[in-house]
Amino acid sequence: MLPEEIRALRRDGLTEQGEKTTREIAEKEKREALADFKIEHMYGFNDPKTNELVNLGHEKMLSTIAQRLLDRHGDSIVNKCPRCQKLARTPNAKQCRHCEHDWH
Ligand SMILES: [Zn+2]
């Protein structure tokens, strides 16, 4: 995943209060010039790319990241039936639920 995607997912896990508190700590670190602004580095409150993802909202952000990963790595991260090319039930499945092909 891209750094901004990792940061956006981290921020997605924060509650509203958690986001507020974490932002405050990030600002405080910045004021105190702490080595490489750790919190900002983790959450990217001032990173335009991270903010763009977060501003999409939870569902849209997840689907945007998922779509980019599929576009980029689809063939290696998605388990498809070698015969009919349809999606397998799980990443480790070796039997197709669509055409019954078995590739054990
Ligand atoms: Zn199949």
The reply to whether 92 falls in a domain is no
Tokens of 48: 């335009």
10 neighbors 22 (Cβ within 8 angstroms): no
The structural domain count of the chain equals 1
* H helical segments located in the chain: 3-12, 16-31, 38-43, 48-54, 58-77
- Give the pLDDT score at 1: 87
Query: Cα of 75 to ligand 1 centre, how many Å?
Result: 16
Query: Cα of 8 to ligand 1 centre, how many Å?
Result: 36
Euclidean distance between CA atoms 103 and 92, whole angstroms: 11
- Give the pLDDT score at 90: 83
The reply to whether 25 falls in a domain is yes
Report angle CA 37, 1, 81 to the nearest 5 degrees.
165
- Give the pLDDT score at 64: 92
The answer to whether residue 55 scores a pLDDT higher than 80 is yes
Residues lining ion ligand 1 (Cβ < 5 A) are 81, 83-84, 96, 98-99, 101
The reply to whether 10 falls in a domain is yes
Residue range 34-46: average pLDDT?
84
Query: Cα of 78 to ligand 1 centre, how many Å?
Result: 14
Euclidean distance between CA atoms 5 and 86, whole angstroms: 28
The reply to whether 47 falls in a domain is yes
- Give the pLDDT score at 95: 94
Question: Residue 47's pLDDT band (boundaries 50, 70, 90)?
Answer: very high
| Mean per-residue pLDDT of the chain | 89
Query: Cα of 81 to ligand 1 centre, how many Å?
Result: 5
4 neighbors 64 (Cβ within 8 angstroms): no
The reply to whether 8 falls in a domain is yes
The answer to whether residue 8 scores a pLDDT higher than 80 is yes
